[in-house]
Structures are given as structure tokens and as C-alpha cells.
Amino acid sequence: MHPVRKQRLIMVLFIVVFASLAVGLIAYALRENINLFYPPSKIVSGEAPVEKRIRAGGCVLPGEVKRASDSLDVSFLITDGVASVEVQYTGILPDLFSEGEAVVVNGMLNGDGVFMATEVLAKHDETYTPPEVAEAMENAGEHQKTCEGMNYGS
């Protein structure tokens, strides 16, 4: 083989191997950072992974928000109209967080079925419901666009 061709072949092989390695590392990193959305009914039925970062969303059940008097610990129930999931969060809740309103929470489901939230996202105005929450409520048989008037049975 001619030395110039051999050098080109080595360069092409190096580029292919390096590009393959880069694509593999990117795919691995993205796989670890994906946050899949689960409504409360799928969490209760056991479809959601335990001890893995996920997103959940629903309406905050009225009368179910419990705040610790000596810390920033808060627990509340979210529902999609079919099932309810307990959420525990430590931190300052968004200004628009309130009972009967839609929320999306990021975090992990523990072995006891309690969602340990690291972030709570509340809707940003009176007429908005997060798309994932609206779709989950529709799939669960609730055909309203907001949490108001929802049957809060668990």
C-alpha cells in the first residue's frame, strides 16, 4: 500500500472511531438525564420507576397541604382524578402554588410510593394547565382544562 493511502486510511479510521465514541458518550449522557412524565394513576399502578428521576403532575388536593412549623418541609397530595400520590418537598414553594391548582413536580419515587420532589413547578397564570397534566386528566376521564370543579376522589 502506498504510504499516502495508508496515512489517509489511518486518519479516516481515527475520525470514525472518535466520532463513534463521541456519539456513544452523548447517547449515554442523554439516557441518564431524561425525565419521563407520569400521572398519579400510573405511579399508583406501579408503572413508574422507583429511585429514578421522573416528573409527575396533577392537581393539588384541597385540604391536603401540610407544612412543618419548624422547617421548609411540605407534603401534599396530587391527583389526576383517578388516583392520588403523596409528594414531599423541602424548600420554598412557588408563589402561584395553591390547593386545587395544577403542578408538575420533578424528583424520585421512593420505595413507599411517596414522591420525593426536588422541584415544584406551578402554573404561571389563571387559565394555564401544564400540557402533561391536562393530557393525563383527559386520559383519566376528566375532560376539563383546569383543576377547578374536578372530582377529587382518590
Total domains in the chain come to 2
- Residue 16's pLDDT is 96
Cell of 55: 416528573
Domain shared by 94 and 130, yes or no: yes
SS (H, E, C) 48-86: CCCCCEEEEEEEECCCCCEECCCCCEEEEEEECCCCEEE
Q: pLDDT by residue (tens digit) across 17-60?
A: 999 999 999 888 877 667 788 899 889 988 888 888 889 988 89
- Residue 95's pLDDT is 86
DSSP character at residue 140: T
Q: pLDDT by residue (tens digit) across 96-132?
A: 888 888 899 999 999 888 999 999 998 665 566 667 6
Domain shared by 70 and 8, yes or no: no
Q: How confident is the model at residue 9 (pLDDT cuts 50, 70, 90)?
A: very high
Domain shared by 133 and 59, yes or no: yes
Domain shared by 113 and 87, yes or no: yes
Asked whether the predicted pLDDT for residue 77 surpasses 50, the reply is yes
Classify residue 154: in a domain, yes or no. Answer: no
Domain shared by 56 and 89, yes or no: yes
Domain shared by 6 and 52, yes or no: no
Residues 6+ away with beta carbon under 8 Å from 109: 43, 48, 49, 50, 51, 52, 54, 56, 115, 116
Domain shared by 68 and 17, yes or no: no
Asked whether the predicted pLDDT for residue 138 surpasses 60, the reply is yes
- Residue 137's pLDDT is 66
Classify residue 146: in a domain, yes or no. Answer: no
What angle is formed at CA 128 by the lines to CA 126 and CA 134, rounded to 5 degrees? 135
Domain shared by 102 and 27, yes or no: no
Classify residue 67: in a domain, yes or no. Answer: yes
CATH number for position 72 = 2.40.50.140
Domain shared by 44 and 88, yes or no: yes
Q: Which pTM value belongs to this model? A: 0.66
Classify residue 149: in a domain, yes or no. Answer: no
Domain extent for 83 = 36-139
- What is the distance, to the nearest Å, from the Cα of residue 42 to the centroid of all Cα atoms in its chain? 12
